[in-house]
A and B are shown apart, each in its own frame.
Chain A
Amino acid sequence: MAYYSSNRALELRALLRERFPTAHTKAAPTRGVSPWPPAPDQDPPPLPVIDFVPGEIREVVAENPGCGGALLVGELLYGSLRNKRILTLVDGKDSFDPDSFGQRLCRQLLWLRCRDAEQALQSTDLLLRDGNLPDIFLDLQLNPLAELRALPLHVWHRFRRLSEQSGTALIVLSPTPLVTSATSRFVLRHESPPAAWELPRASLSTRPRTRLQRQRFPHVQMSA
């Protein structure tokens, strides 16, 4: 009976693939950043997407100042507004500027204005233990490197365990690779925006600058 059922299922899938070929191409994820036009066949590999994945920690390394960390926050804010979810921003150096994003994008934002990295980690720890807030963004980009290097490594493993238990998604933005337990690590490349002042924000996406550096489980889908 099981064999018969699986055969029928395979036949049905083949039939559907024939009739609706476009429905079987990989779609852009609906959370996080804005949808990207589907890449045509035999183009360069798809660009990585930085978004929240429940129960996972992702790290984004912004190696140089001004390479798009705040732009990434804006994209995630837009995603949270579109998906009607709360974005929790743990701001390690109190550097978020609400005026740069407008009142509407900030409507579903819980902003924690920390003074240093230690406060940021303590706050994140409390939020991960709570498990009510689904998406947490820990921004350590402007924190001094000496302060970040002094952080104990076991904190990241504890965060990973808490994240898995509560199903909370955590993205850490840091100036240098820090999170040893991250499922995947992205690098934001430095790219000076030439005369970008007049460009609309939507055209300043971080995706062209993003490179996937490390992935713990490559078989798990991650990119568009």
Chain B
Amino acid sequence: MFAALFIPDFHLQAQLRLRPEWRGAPVALLEGTNDLTAKEREKARVLQITREAELYEVVPGITATRAQARCPQILLVHRQPEDEESARKVLWDCASEVTRDFEASGPGLVTLDLHGVRRDLQTLAIRRIDWLCELGLKAQVGLAENPDLAFLAARLAAPVLVFRGTPIQIHERLASLPITALQPSPDWLSLFQLWGVQTIGDFGALPRHELVERLGPAAGRCWDQAHGRSQRLLRLVRAPEIYRETLDLDEPVESSEPLLFLLHRFLERISARLAAAHVAAGSMELVLTLESSPAHRRTFRIPEPVRDVDVLFRILQTHLERFHAPSPVVAIALEAFPTRTLNGQTHLFETSWRDPNRLADTLARVEALLGAERVGTPLCGLSHRPDTFRMQPFSLQPLPASGYVPKTGIPPGPRHECGVPSGPPLRRFRPRRPIMVATTASRSSPRPSAILSGPLQGALTAQTGPWVSSGDWWQEANWQREEWDVQHESGPYYRLALEAGKWFAEGIYD
């Protein structure tokens, strides 16, 4: 048995349910949206009307101007996609309460496969209609042996109609219905008028074979529908599952232990639901509503999607261990965003991490210890100004294994081709050390001869330089500097910099 849950004038009802002040008023829904010009708006045709508008002889298909002429107080509205989406969700929720197997057959229409539903179907239909009525949607339900027949029953229902019996009996019941109930195309409708076909009975009396020859296979399906014989598979839809747990706390919470206890329970429930749907959590969002501060929101990306409670809990625990809320927590919400589990093996030449989730957790702990800006991979070459690299988060993507050179990639090559500067590398002093330097007179610039202060105190036996550089001249914070490479009397080489008349030890060549 199949059931069709039908909401007549769906687009209009979607708006009426959210605007109780329109009840009892003549309202007409026009084609197009609110962004029409005044001229287009006048020419827009009426799509759907309320029962009150019908009393003024406003009918679908006439223009807005004519509707206003017939009913001056009529309220002309356009379609609202947000309202329709909200009504669609209500309808899908209603269908999914009965069975998971349903089809979204059209706007305001869902067809349910009731095979396996053991309850009394008529009572069930009435309860669903009442439920929708409470949410502001007037629905009709048709029950029949096939989906198309159920839809026809739903169109005629008031509010529930069951089609049962032999095909001949069903055809007799359908015979008196107007041909428009089969929803033929406008071309066919005009053709049927020429042929004098007014009802489904007239249409059903036409020979099927000749009808298909003239109008094509679609006419054959329509003919089967008129006889209650059409059979087809439902195109099932699955309502998106929301894996969310929330709780408003009776008393504000100031420590992390109670929150962790609650979060563990949340995760147990969410994980069970994820397992039932054969999916895993790809990310999570934690929202802590605070008593007198804006809510704390944090999204956790899970490198390898899992639904293991302990793994997910460790991520939350690591975060809460270092989180200090400015005020007590009054509500808590946790949502997991599902994704497919990784059930295939990785690439043959890829080296994946042993446990990516654990690595992500460890890096989060290290970031908590050092600061997020102090952990990652350096990105250099952003400016000619020295020491202006940027840290980017460490990538958890697996690396191709040793020996494998991808066709599109560039092999590492010899060391001198890796863009490595010549000479020994520098070890930087961060922050750089201000020093006093004795200089000797020179024609171009003073030459450092000794360091007079700090732990690097001593004579300089060799100097090379100066290397002058500058930048950001178009900004107020422009810079200009001289660099010297010097050898200390104790042996090592240092880099000194002269900037704004002050000397600094920048690092040691190592």
Which residues on A are within 8 Å of B, measured CB to CB?
Answer: 34, 62, 64-71, 73-74, 78, 81-86, 93-115, 119, 122-123, 126-127, 129-133, 141-142, 190, 192-193, 196-202, 204
> Taking each of A66, A107, A110, A113, which has the highest tally of chain B beta carbons within 10 Å of its own beta carbon?
A66
Decide if B374 touches A130 in the complex (CB within 8 Å): no
Decide if A192 touches B491 in the complex (CB within 8 Å): yes
Known: A66-B509, A123-B366, A198-B423. A109 touches B378 (CB 8 A): yes
Decide if A81 touches B422 in the complex (CB within 8 Å): no
B479 at the interface (CB under 8 A from A): no
Q: In the complex, which residues of chain A have a beta carbon less than 8 angstroms from the beta carbon of B369? A: 119, 122-123, 126
B443 at the interface (CB under 8 A from A): no
B24 at the interface (CB under 8 A from A): no
Decide if B419 touches A97 in the complex (CB within 8 Å): no
> Taking each of B365, B378, B400, B487, which has the highest tally of chain A beta carbons within 10 Å of its own beta carbon?
B378
Min C-beta distance of A189 to chain B, whole Å = 12
Decide if B375 touches A113 in the complex (CB within 8 Å): yes
Measured in the bound complex, the distance between the Cα atoms of B357 and A131 in whole Å is 12
Measured in the bound complex, the distance between the Cα atoms of B402 and A82 in whole Å is 8
Decide if B351 touches A99 in the complex (CB within 8 Å): no
Q: Nearest 7 pairs between A and B by C-beta?
A: A66-B492, A100-B425, A70-B510, A102-B419, A98-B378, A130-B362, A132-B359
Measured in the bound complex, the distance between the Cα atoms of B278 and A91 in whole Å is 43
Decide if A112 touches B366 in the complex (CB within 8 Å): yes
Q: In the complex, which residues of chain A have a beta carbon less than 8 angstroms from the beta carbon of B362? A: 126-127, 129-130, 132
23 A-B pairs with CB atoms under 8 Å apart are: A62-B510, A71-B510, A78-B420, A84-B351, A84-B401, A94-B374, A96-B427, A98-B389, A99-B426, A100-B425, A102-B420, A103-B380, A109-B378, A111-B377, A112-B374, A112-B375, A113-B370, A119-B370, A126-B369, A131-B358, A132-B354, A132-B356, A196-B424
Q: In the complex, which residues of chain B have a beta carbon less than 8 angstroms from the beta carbon of A196? A: 423-424
Which residues of B (389-429) have their CB < 8 Å from a CB of A? 389, 391, 394, 399-402, 404, 412, 414-416, 418-429
B381 at the interface (CB under 8 A from A): yes
Q: In the complex, which residues of chain A have a beta carbon less than 8 angstroms from the beta carbon of B510? A: 62, 65-71, 141
Which residues of B (65-115) have their CB < 8 Å from a CB of A? none
Q: Report the count of interface residues on B (CB-CB < 8 A).
A: 57
Measured in the bound complex, the distance between the Cα atoms of B380 and A84 in whole Å is 20
**Which of A103, A119, A132, A197 is within 8 Å of B422, CB to CB?**
A197
B266 at the interface (CB under 8 A from A): no
Known: A103-B419, A110-B376. A132 touches B353 (CB 8 A): yes
Decide if A66 touches B493 in the complex (CB within 8 Å): yes
Min C-beta distance of B376 to chain A, whole Å = 7
B476 at the interface (CB under 8 A from A): no
Measured in the bound complex, the distance between the Cα atoms of B378 and A101 in whole Å is 11
Min C-beta distance of A80 to chain B, whole Å = 10
Decide if A201 touches B416 in the complex (CB within 8 Å): yes
Decide if B422 touches A99 in the complex (CB within 8 Å): no
Which residues of B (462-510) have their CB < 8 Å from a CB of A? 464, 485, 487, 491-493, 507-510
The residue of chain A having its C-beta at the shortest distance from the C-beta of B493 within the complex is A66
B355 at the interface (CB under 8 A from A): yes
Q: In the complex, which residues of chain A have a beta carbon less than 8 angstroms from the beta carbon of B387? A: 97, 99
**Which of B391, B400, B424 is within 8 Å of A193, CB to CB?**
B424
Measured in the bound complex, the distance between the Cα atoms of B394 and A16 in whole Å is 47
Min C-beta distance of B425 to chain A, whole Å = 4
Measured in the bound complex, the distance between the Cα atoms of B307 and A53 in whole Å is 35
B119 at the interface (CB under 8 A from A): no
Measured in the bound complex, the distance between the Cα atoms of B391 and A109 in whole Å is 11
**Which of B353, B375, B485 is within 8 Å of A197, CB to CB?**
B485
Decide if B366 touches A95 in the complex (CB within 8 Å): no
Decide if B412 touches A82 in the complex (CB within 8 Å): yes
Measured in the bound complex, the distance between the Cα atoms of B400 and A131 in whole Å is 19
Measured in the bound complex, the distance between the Cα atoms of B424 and A196 in whole Å is 7
Decide if B424 touches A132 in the complex (CB within 8 Å): no
Measured in the bound complex, the distance between the Cα atoms of B19 and A144 in whole Å is 73
Decide if B377 touches A107 in the complex (CB within 8 Å): yes
B430 at the interface (CB under 8 A from A): yes
Min C-beta distance of B375 to chain A, whole Å = 6
Measured in the bound complex, the distance between the Cα atoms of B430 and A114 in whole Å is 11
B294 at the interface (CB under 8 A from A): no
> Taking each of B394, B426, B427, which has the highest tally of chain A beta carbons within 10 Å of its own beta carbon?
B427
Measured in the bound complex, the distance between the Cα atoms of B424 and A201 in whole Å is 7
